[in-house]
Amino acid sequence: VIRCRAAVAWAPGKPLSVEEVEVAPPKAGEVRIKLVAAGICRTDEHLLQGCFPKAEFPVIPGHEGAGIVESVGEGVTSVTPGDKVIPLCHPQCGECSFCRNPESNFCQKSHFSELQNLLPDKTSRFSCKGKQIHHFLWVSTFAEYTVVPEYAVAKIDAAAPLDKVCVFGCAFSTGYGAAINTAKVKPGSTCAVFGLGGVGLSAVMGCKAAGASRIIAVDINSDKFAKAKELGATDCINPKDLKKPIQEVLTEMTGHGVDYSFEAIGHADTMIAALASCNMSTGVCVMIGVVDSEISIDPTLLLTGRTWKGTMLGGSWKIREGIPKLVSSYLEKKFNSDLLITHTLPFAKVKEGFELLLAGK
């Protein structure tokens, strides 16, 4: 058993508290990882607020990180101690019908079909003050050590800087993959990205890499525009500065609406605005943001031919193989995801990290 620090959320709505926890050794088919760096995603904030209906408290949040394999359980063959890895909040078991379908990335062991508050054998490897602590999406990256199933680990290049590639555990792979894999953005096309957090900025990078000729970035926080432009946005719009709804403005700007739109916020109204912003015939809208309410739409939005899609961690990557490839592309300097990293804080200041997220910084 390893004793180390972890950020524990004891109950919904309560602040995180940095505690000493015990991390039990990996059982068969599991991997214990020494985490080196973690990123903060809006989804962690949704969890802390109690908006993740299936999560259980107390819990160690965090689902974006990178580390080094410390030890492996019986039967683990794909990684060995010392390997650099990214734990995966969306697994690839390799055996289910979705994993075997080359067009699908959606493993049936994902948290939509199987709870991930405990490891697959229905026990936890974390405890604190004599209490069992739950895992989050199997990965719980806000801990110095974590234990995950082997099929939720991607082995990456030994040259990868872990403090930089930790964003591949969620934000970067999600946004970039939404453009490349889910939307399959074509060269010369027009795109609109709603929300310029880590995920939306990564979608901007994906649209640029795919050769889009116009990338319109939309956010109510104009402080996000400088970075969006640096990453490839050609126009930036703040809906608060407009007299008309954003979808009308985007339709006028582009003639008939954009070819591809992406929602990386997580509100019902911006989901509808993003859908209505892509052209009524061949437009494709990708839903990335996590919305915790129902959405009602005018069916004619789809009747004319638009496509409305969702994505989990960037769609059709085949995540255990896809993330290492992305890391290799990063090492070959095919894109600069380092620009997504705005602040670097020591682990004890994890609460400050959330304050920065909530302040839009």
**Residue 258 binds what, of Zn ion, ligand NAD, none (CB under 5 to 8 Å, by partner type)?**
none
41 scored as a contact of Zn ion (CB under 5 A): yes
Judged by CB under 6 A, the number of residues near ligand NAD is: 33
229 contacts ligand NAD (rule: CB under 6 A): no
User: Minimum distance from CB of 87 to ligand NAD (Å)?
Assistant: 15
**Neighbour count for residue 282 (Cβ, 10 Å):** 15
Show contacts with ligand NAD in window 297-326 (CB under 6 A).
311-313
Q: Does 287 bind Zn ion (CB under 5 A)?
A: no
Considering only 92, 254, 261, 270, the residue that binds ligand NAD (CB under 6 A) is 270
Provide the edge-to-edge strand list for the sheet that holds 126-128: 2-8, 17-23, 126-128, 131-133
Q: Which of 69, 170, 178, 228 binds Zn ion (CB under 5 A)?
A: 170
Contacts (Cβ under 8 Å, ≥6 apart) of 347: 5, 7, 18, 144
Which listed range, 3-11, 204-212, 227-235, 284-292, lies at the site for ligand NAD (CB under 6 A)?
284-292
Beta bridge partners of 215: 191
- CB under 6 A: which stretch of 23-31, 38-46, 250-258, 294-302 binds ligand NAD? 38-46
SS3 per residue for 17-68: EEEEEEECCCCCCEEEEEEEEECCCHHHHHHHCCCCCCCCCCECCCCCEEEE
8 A C-beta contact, residue 151 and residue 69: no
Residues 160 and 327: beta-carbon distance below 8 Å: yes
Q: Report helix, strand or coil for 193.
A: strand
Question: Taking contact as CB under 6 A, which single stretch among the options 142-150, 151-159, 212-220, 328-336 is the one that binds ligand NAD?
Answer: 212-220
State which of residues 26, 43, 154, 185 lies at the interface with Zn ion (CB under 5 A).
43
Choice between 74 and 241, CB closer to ligand NAD: 241
Q: How far apart are CA 209 and CA 319, in angstroms?
A: 19
Applying CB under 6 A, does 44 fall inside the site for ligand NAD?
A: no
Residues 208, 185: Cα–Cα separation, whole Å? 9
The region of 133-141, 254-262, 264-272, 337-345 touching ligand NAD under the rule CB under 6 A is 264-272
Q: Using the rule CB under 6 A, is 110 a contact of ligand NAD?
A: no
Q: Which is nearer to Zn ion, 170 or 323 (CB)?
A: 170
Dihedrals φ, ψ of 156, to 5°? -120, 170
Nearer to ligand NAD, 311 or 337 (CB): 311
Distance between CA atoms of residues 198 and 204, nearest Å: 10
Q: Is 209 exposed, middle or buried (0-12, 13-18, 19+ CB in 10 A)?
A: middle
Distance CA 295, CA 275 (A): 12
- Work out the end-to-end distance of the chain between its first and last CA atoms, rounded to an integer number of angstroms: 37
Q: Which helix (H) or strand (E) holds 6?
A: strand 2-8
Q: Which stretch binds Zn ion (CB under 5 A): 170-178, 252-260, 279-287, 321-329?
A: 170-178
**Contact between 323 and Zn ion per CB under 5 A:** no
Residue list 117-146, contact with Zn ion (CB under 5 A):
none
Q: What whole-number distance in Å separates Cα of residue 80 and Cα of residue 49? A: 37
Q: Pick from 203, 249, 288, 340: which binds ligand NAD (CB under 6 A)? A: 288
Among 91, 197, 206, 257, binds ligand NAD (CB under 6 A): 197
The residue among 305 and 360 lying less far from ligand NAD, judged by its C-beta, is 360
Nearer to ligand NAD, 73 or 310 (CB): 310
Query: Rule CB under 5 A: which residues touch Zn ion?
Result: 41, 43, 170
Query: Rule CB under 6 A: which residues touch ligand NAD?
Result: 41-43, 46, 170-171, 174, 194-200, 218-221, 224, 239, 264-267, 270, 288-290, 311-313, 357, 360
